[in-house]
Amino acid sequence: MSVLPASARGTARLRASEILGAIPLVPRNAGIALIHAYRATISRLYGDVCRYYPSCSAYGLGAVQQHGLVKGSVLAGARIARCHPWAAGGEDDVRPHPSFRYDLTPHGFVVPLRKD
């Protein structure tokens, strides 16, 4: 549960010279930090009970990474609403944003693309 899906990890690093370019990403990364905290604490208590793959918290993480805090939260909320005892379950991945122009750190945070 605490392990991020491969699609939610990257190899980028935030450099000091890129701090100003990352300011618009602060809300998105704050949401990602909250999801990390949930996955490290509450999600471990529940165990592997989600009917879907990836789990609802991993789906929420990917949705916030790809679509931003507001739209990603709405997508995650809709996914949680679909996850009930009578749901068929199965594989349900986040649709990638068509113009995703950022990179991901190993911990799943979103940083601007490097120009070099």
Please report the pLDDT score of residue 84 as a whole number.
83
Distance of CA 58 to the CA centre of its chain: 6
Q: Alpha carbon of 79 to those of 16, 30, 59, 87: distances in Å?
A: 36, 20, 8, 11
| Predicted confidence (pLDDT) per residue in 54-75, tens digit | 888 999 999 999 999 999 999 9
- For the entire predicted model, the pTM comes to 0.86
Q: How confident is the model at residue 90 (pLDDT cuts 50, 70, 90)?
A: confident
Please report the pLDDT score of residue 13 as a whole number.
73
Q: Looking at the predicted structure, is the pLDDT value of residue 96 above 50? A: yes
Dist. CA 61–CA 46, nearest whole Å: 18
